[in-house]
Amino acid sequence: MTSDSYLLKLSNVLLLHIISQIDDNEDIICLLLTCKQIYRNSSVRRLITFKGIGLITEKGDISQQFQATATRFNLNTFKDILENSISDQHVIFGEFNNNNNDNYPQWIQQRINIYRDSDKSNITTALVTNYQASSTLQLGSLFNNIDMWPSIETLSIINGTKQQRQEYTFYYNLISPVVDLGSIERLPRLERLSVYGVKEVKLGQHTTLKSLKLHVDPRCTLADLGLTRFVSLTDLSFKNQFVSIIESDLLPISLTSLTLRFSSSNKTPPRDIFHSLVSLVKLKIIFQNTLKEVEEEQEQAFIDLEHIPNLESFKFTDNNFHPSSRKYSFEIRVPPSIKTLIILSDWVCIPLQCVMPLLETLRVYGDILVDGRVSLLSSPSLKKLVIDQCKVIIPANFIPSTVESVRIYSYEKDVDILEQVVFPPSLSHLTVTGYCKSVNLPQSLVKLKVDAHKTSVSLPHCLKKLSYWGIDKSFDLMTFPSNYPPNLETIDLTHIHQNEFVIDNIPPSITNLLMPLAKSSDWLYGGPTIFSITSRLTKTVVSQQQQQWLPPSITHLTCRIWEFPSNYNSPKFVFRLDEVINHTNVRDLSIIITNSANQAPTYQFSIQRLDADNRNVLVLEKQTVTGGIITQRRIIKNNQQQQQDQHTQYYPIYLYLDTYSNSPYDLKWSFTKAKYNNNSEE
């Protein structure tokens, strides 16, 4: 019995459930191509969607991946499935929009055109972007006829880029002063609202709104917003700092999640500001530049959370410089219900009477932990411990026996912070970064991240993932020991900032290898930089043209390209794709490009070799479902060369990556350096 026969006996509901559990889009395509009857089942087909393919991201931006999908999607047979994936999303561009919509096919343009002729009643997600009107922007003018959009659940209004909104003068230079959402009740199903990059927002009454995210002029006050009218609001997040005083009666009592930012013009918030928020589960507070007020008031600041009975997660970030005359500047009282506690500050104290019996995750600075300003004595449930900026020696039995994961970050060259510590036998995950001379590893470890110069350290027998970090110009060869752990599956070298090192003797048990690449060569006259996996392999390995350069067990490869300042004049990169195809067994290839702004994309490719000699290869970028079959070009040899070398050799395949492009996922490739090709074959 064929696979079609088995699957056709299943109900449509069960078939859709099976397909929904498939993670990769190429697997969905392969299933439909293999099982023709499912492919022809229109009732099933119209409900199938691609994973991760959306016009609008979770953060409310236009998806760069989708821009590539819409313009380069070649699988026309599956066009309707692509349409299914965005059928409930719509983008409304502003009048000064810089995007060239003509690049999109017609069926995409109608979804981003406010005057689209198709039915709008099924639209659940809408994005309004780049609106800079000279007068107040009314909700009705955004949607032309607002009553034709009854199903909208998520609405994002975004002006300017994230980088622009972070600039000090952004709100002073805005053309559009006000977004008027006074008639917001005309969107009866609206649950999530985000407004970024406006001077002022006027909010009307709404009974079903659950999530509100705002990045507005810092001079806007909570009283102006009138948030208490949102009786169903559970998630409130401010992306900008407040310069006005925040009062306790201005926050909705229905909140379960709250993010607040305080700027240099704030006085310390009232001690009882959170007392009425009895339903709060998650709280995040960021303080920025309050030194002036701290010095003037000369009084201790208190944040009292003891009266919030359901609080489980609290994060406190203090980006200030405090007077050296004080031991701490903030006293924070937390309730016994707390499970996750993150304190990113040197100037915090949690009194000993605040017991934390349910605490599972703790992240704090080393100084306040070791000197007892945050105590571990009342936390018998602690599983994960993160110690940031550790500058002192950690006592021998300091880490509780219940802890399973420890991360320690230390950059003190003159202090061996781990010389006394004894890790508990329950520890399975350990990360140690910085200048630690002594590391005694427990045998229970499953995941380990340490300095690359500690390659001589005896590795635990149960280890499955090993990560190295570090930088040293004298470090040029990484050879793995022959007595490696038998179950070691993953090696991660992507955090090594060293341009010249190579690796050798990779264990045959490895299935997942992550490594940074060094540039192999530059194009003449300031052209793109070429990157190759050979930059991390020994000459002995690379010289073996007829053999694989990596163990055949490695099916997942991640290559990281560090974009250093020298690359800024030419932010284009070229990757030797043919080497991965012809000299490895890799099926999943990721390319991570890291720059100073940390905004570069990550590319994820699937590689399926269709012939025994790799002549035809299907290469798909998984996030965009773009790509196709590449037919490689053989290198023609004379008779004598063919007799000496029976191995088929192919011309290079150059993959072009332009990280600063408006469409970084619009990938191109070529067999030559001089040009690139938009098609799957030449």
| Residue with tokens 């026969």, as numbered in its chain | 5
Whether 594 is in a domain gets the answer yes
Whether 50 is in a domain gets the answer no
Asked whether 96 and 176 are in contact (CB, 8 A), the reply is no
| Residue with tokens 């050799």, as numbered in its chain | 649
Token couple for 605: 């490719």
> How confident is the model at residue 243, as a pLDDT?
56
Asked whether 69 and 55 are in contact (CB, 8 A), the reply is no
> How confident is the model at residue 445, as a pLDDT?
96
Token couple for 162: 């994230």
Token couple for 303: 């944040």
* 117: amino acid identity, one letter: D
> How confident is the model at residue 639, as a pLDDT?
60
For 195-216, b/e burial (b = at least 16 CB within 10 A) is bbbbbbbbbeebeebbbbbbbb
Label each residue of 204-253 as H, E or C: CCCCCCCEEEEEECCCCCHHHHCHHHCCCCCEEEECCCECCCCCHHHCCC
Helix runs in 464-597, H state only? 539-542, 577-583
Q: Give bridge partners of residue 515 from the DSSP assignment.
A: 559
Whether 458 is in a domain gets the answer no
Asked whether 483 and 509 are in contact (CB, 8 A), the reply is no
Total domains present in the chain: 3
Pairing of strands 654-658, 668-670: antiparallel
- Give the residue from 337, 361, 382 where a domain finishes: 382
CA atoms within 13 A on the CB side of 80: 11
Whether 146 is in a domain gets the answer no
DSSP string covering 68-81: HHHHH---GGGHHH
Q: Residues 375, 519: one domain?
A: no
- Give the residue from 382, 406, 429 where a domain finishes: 382
Whether 663 is in a domain gets the answer yes
Nearest to 132 by CA among 161, 152, 101: 161
Binning the chain into helix, strand and coil, the percentages to the nearest 5 are: 20, 30, 55
Q: Give bridge partners of residue 573 from the DSSP assignment.
A: 529, 657
| Residue with tokens 């773009």, as numbered in its chain | 626
The gap from C-alpha 87 to its chain's centroid, in whole angstroms, comes to 25
DSSP conformational letter for 269: P
Asked whether 365 and 394 are in contact (CB, 8 A), the reply is no
Residues 6+ apart with CB under 8 A from 657: 572, 573, 574, 575, 591, 593, 603, 664, 667
Q: Give bridge partners of residue 203 from the DSSP assignment.
A: 181
DSSP string covering 135-170: SPEEHHHHSSSGGG-TT--EEEEE-S-HHHHTSTTT
Domain of residue 632: give its range: 511-682
The span from the CA of 185 to the CA of 624, in Å, is 36
- Give the residue from 352, 382, 412 where a domain finishes: 382
pTM: 0.85
Helix runs in 502-657, H state only? 539-542, 577-583, 639-644
Whether 110 is in a domain gets the answer no
Whether 54 is in a domain gets the answer no
Residues 6+ apart with CB under 8 A from 170: 160, 164, 197
Whether 398 is in a domain gets the answer no
Q: Is 575 helix (H, G, I), strand (E, B) or coil?
A: strand
CB atoms within 10 A of CB 13: 10
Asked whether 301 and 322 are in contact (CB, 8 A), the reply is no
Asked whether 501 and 476 are in contact (CB, 8 A), the reply is yes
> How confident is the model at residue 73, as a pLDDT?
72
Chunked into runs of 10 residues, the chain (682 residues) has average pLDDT values of: 61 77 78 72 77 77 78 71 79 55 69 63 82 66 73 86 61 66 90 87 91 85 87 92 71 94 68 89 83 50 91 89 61 96 92 95 93 91 94 88 94 82 93 80 93 74 92 73 89 85 91 91 64 91 84 97 60 88 96 74 91 92 87 78 65 86 80 57 37
The gap from C-alpha 268 to its chain's centroid, in whole angstroms, comes to 33
